[in-house]
Structure 1
């Protein structure tokens, strides 16, 4: 193994493993107030982690209940049965060994909700768990943790559903506060909106009503916060995704894929709401990307988000694409011993996702981890000499090193370009759009031509900062790849010595076997010398030292203190 000698840091390592088991296919269904959602997950206990391999969503509007009795309407129940049958067929096609379904607000509150679930059991043979508001919040929290790293910092999660809104406080460990309020986009629209476009009086009443409904949950969340610490806000589910899509189209001209990590400010949200509320439902439906299942309820959902942010005193929100369905998957994994603990699962979200993608594209992980260790060793030893990047850029380099060869899954020819495409379009959990683009570009430039403005992928980088990250760290990644050219671990260690007077970087290599001349590794380093020297404007010198004692003596004499 390559050791990082500088800065007292270890290389990033793979997540905590549980005893390996066979891979599993599992389906999770969320019977919500507005829609029925299903995800089918490929669970890999050896990581541990999972990948969503299929999604299904049908708007059935169970929440549009009879105004006099509160019962679920017959036509809505029939639509739900059809949707659930289709979900079962898809799950069977994908060889799901088990399907778990949960029902939330609409079914929970309807007098005939349990009768409906009995129909589902009798006609489809599907048992549905009717979960409480706090239990719904708990599983939402698990789902969010499977897609975002909280770094032990307090986060508030808001999930705006059709019939209820969940507010959750946590820092990646056990949730500190789980709340559920009977205010949702479908419920509000059904109960409070009679005009189209919504009148000023109805809009103002809706705002006041939502504030009153959310006050207790917000106060409960605040009571668990430490003084002086401002949490971050994470938004999930359909309303937030729809608002993010509208916002991105207006501000960026395109909708990022994925939307994971997309930010929305309270100021921008208010501007969006002011425009939406002046439009009729038909005019909202005509907006690019607006679906017919969202156009009539988007104003109500947006008001809930706006009032929650105002009450919490938070000026921005970050979107997470995972929520209840994914939380059902995580909960099932916990129940079946496929995850040792929530904390360990959370701490491995990013690394587990990277290794999951590496396995998917049949990356040689032994080679990839050696390259990653070399890359981090070079990064640490040249920090504040050749570059001034920090922990965030260090992690992006690690990911790129692990995945740099994934393009071989498509073809050996131009595999660096295929690596870019696969990384760019894979589900890298816990990373935002810019980070994924940076990782993909780093992998793209581990060989062949250096970054150039005429390359479309390089132009996709949103800032000079990230282009410079790619310029410099791709140079280090090239050297790291060369150090394991035969993919057999021929080089045991590498030491860097920087001489600013020449200027020159000297790499001193220790082979794993004293008799190995490492000719191919030395040739590969020489081949990649020009790209490195051009990027950093200095000479690169490489020597091989088979005598470990001589290396130690040399370093003691010459290494800068």
Structure 2
């Protein structure tokens, strides 16, 4: 997150808490495959709720990648950066205290996606969070829930973007399924549509390809429906809204404003698709409300929706104008403790996702929780003395501590490297890509060598801030692992005492058993303390207490 008015998370919360009636203005940007969208909202913490005060959109087509290399083109990156600069100016003019930006499939898949993010940060100062397809689906779900009542009934949400299509099943509580499939209006148009109007052979191949790609996600979704349940279908995104507007003009003679809640049937959609496929680009552009850029990709997008509805066996769809951008806002509110009742389960999505991953890989949770307790105790006691990290870093350290040993699931040998791989590819929910990369690297360096620039995993951390976080937090995790060397809870608690004049940190260890000299823990600590001493330029001295005090 980049602050237009630079504030830490704690400062934002303190400002809000100091005046319960004080509103907070937040801007959220979605860097998509087709367009860059921004929503600016006024958050009312006392409700909690938010009101949309402005929307901006710029079709930059990041998804128009080099067909041979798959790289983002310099022209597309320049368009995107210019659009982001305009968004920043608008957000600042509206008094936004914070600006959050996320990027999805185009940046996620491009070989030079990270290079693009670095360029954005260098030219604008804006840090863009890269999110996985599953995390994108989760935030879309949050966005839809912020604008539509589910009344505890099952809903299927479909979001058709430029590079991917998300399918979500939920009933207002925890989502039952979250999926992201690599079928998007820009992607498919570039790959499969070479004729204008589209030829019969291309059209039928496009249909078959989409159906094949969506089948697995649809099957998984249907398997989570209870007997007798027929879900309502909700559609989001520009493609679906454009189709709804076409339908409304034909049936009503006008387009409702807002479009939220508007419905049309699969039968009517099929008729629209059959007409669109017979029109060339200029004829599609002449359709009222159809932008030039949308007319290029509308056929592929319409077929994606048609096939999704057909596979799901759902005969109508309802429009929701809230999606990823609004979900980013809701997620920000959850992260900052502003939502305590509705969607309360989402507040702990990170923790539950970490624990679920730990269970999946048969992690010894008792040991991991002790390691996490020690790591956080060291973090808290050295905060403001040896480091200046806040709650966000603390949470990533906790996750790494819980998952540091998950690599044993593959092999004991080099398990720290296996831990990195499993965490990196485990689709932890609630985290951005750079946060997942940070957790994975912290786990990777809980033993053996320290972070080095030659290590690919360390170089993969896109943010200098997060690389520095790994540098400073991995020594804490190493000490925490050493403190439970035998995995029996031999050390009850720790207390840090820092002496600035001599640059020494005394680590007082309280033994759980007065007859246990904790020799193996002390030996392991002595072995592991070198990284800590080098990183913080202190001398670590160990003091065992509570031993020999009883017969």
CA distance in 2, matches of 1:330, 1:341: 13
State how far apart, in whole Å, the 1-side matches of 2:248 and 2:345 are: 31
Tell me which residue corresponds to 1:28. 28
Q: Is the 8 A contact 1:177 1:224 kept in 2?
A: yes
In 2: Cα distance, 1:194 partner to 1:234 partner: 31
Decide whether the 8 Å contact of 1:334 with 1:341 is kept in 2.
no
CA contact (8 A) 2:173 2:345 kept: no
Task: Provide the residue aligned with 2:115 in structure 1.
Answer: 115
CA distance in 2, matches of 1:231, 1:306: 17
Root-mean-square deviation (CA, aligned residues, Å) is 1.6
Q: Deviations over 1:193-222 (max 9, x none)?
A: 000000010000000000000001001101
Instruction: Answer yes or no: is the 8 Å Cα contact 1:48–1:345 preserved in 2.
Output: no
Using the alignment, how far apart are the partners of 1:198 and 1:150 within structure 2?
38
Counterpart of 2:49 in structure 1 is: 49
- Measure, in 2, the Cα distance between the counterparts of 1:95 and 1:288: 35
**Aligned residue for 2:191?**
191
Structure 2 distance, partners of 1:224, 1:268, is: 28
Alignment partner, residue 302 of structure 2: 302
Q: Where in structure 2 are the equivalents of 1:444-459 lying within 5 Å?
A: none
Map of 1:228 onto structure 2: 228
The residue number in structure 2 matching 1:255 is 255
Alignment of 1:390-405 (within 5 A): none
Q: How does 1:486-497 map to 2 (within 5 A)?
A: none
2:320 aligned residue: 320
How far is the alpha carbon of 1:20 from its aligned partner? 3.0
SS in 2 for 1:149: coil
Partner of 1:446: none
Q: Distance in 1 between matches of 2:344 and 2:66?
A: 45
- Whether the 8 Å CA contact 2:174–2:345 is kept in 1: the answer is no
Which residue number in structure 2 is paired with residue 496 of structure 1? none
Q: 1:294 and 1:345 mapped to 2: Cα distance?
A: 37
Query: How far apart in 2 are the matches of 1:32 and 1:225?
Result: 30
Q: How far apart are residue 228 of structure 1 and its match?
A: 1.6
| Paired positions, count | 330
TM-score (norm: length of structure 2): 0.59
Return 5+ residue gaps in structure 2 as ranges. Answer: 1-18, 347-551
Counterpart residue number, 2:93: 93
Per-residue deviation, 1:223: 1.0
Partner SS for 1:53: strand
Q: Deviations over 1:315-342 (max 9, x none)?
A: 0000000000000000000000111144
Supply the distance in 2 between the matched residues of 1:119 and 1:212 (Cα, whole angstroms).
Answer: 37
Q: Deviations over 1:277-333 (max 9, x none)?
A: 000011000111111120010010000000000000000000000000000000000
CA distance in 2, matches of 1:216, 1:112: 29
CA distance in 2, matches of 1:264, 1:20: 42
Q: What TM-score, normalized by structure 1, do the two folds share?
A: 0.58
CA contact 1:189–1:297 (8 Å) conserved in 2: yes
Alignment-derived partner of residue 338 in structure 2: 338
Please state whether the residue corresponding to 1:235 is helix, strand or coil.
strand
CA distance in 2, matches of 1:345, 1:292: 42
Question: What SS does the corresponding residue of 2:233 show, helix, strand or coil?
Answer: strand
RCO greater where, 1 or 2, for CA within 8 Å and sep 6 or more? 1
2:154·2:169 contact (CA, 8 Å) conserved in 1?
yes
Secondary structure of the residue that 1:101 maps to in structure 2? strand
Contact map agreement 1:339 1:345 (CA 8 A) in 2: no
Distance in 2 separating the partners of 1:339 and 1:292: 40
Q: Distance in 2 between matches of 1:54 and 1:262?
A: 22
Shift in Å, 1:21: 5.2
**Gaps in structure 1 of 5+ consecutive residues:** 1-18, 347-561
Which deviations, in whole Å up to 9, do the C-alpha atoms of 1:10-41 show, x marking residues without a partner? xxxxxxxxx93521000000000000000000
Q: CA deviation at 1:226?
A: 0.6
Taking the TM superposition and a 5 Å limit, the aligned residue runs for 1:5-404 are 20=20, 22-343=22-343
**Aligned partner of residue 135 in structure 1, secondary structure:** helix
SS in 2 for 1:295: helix
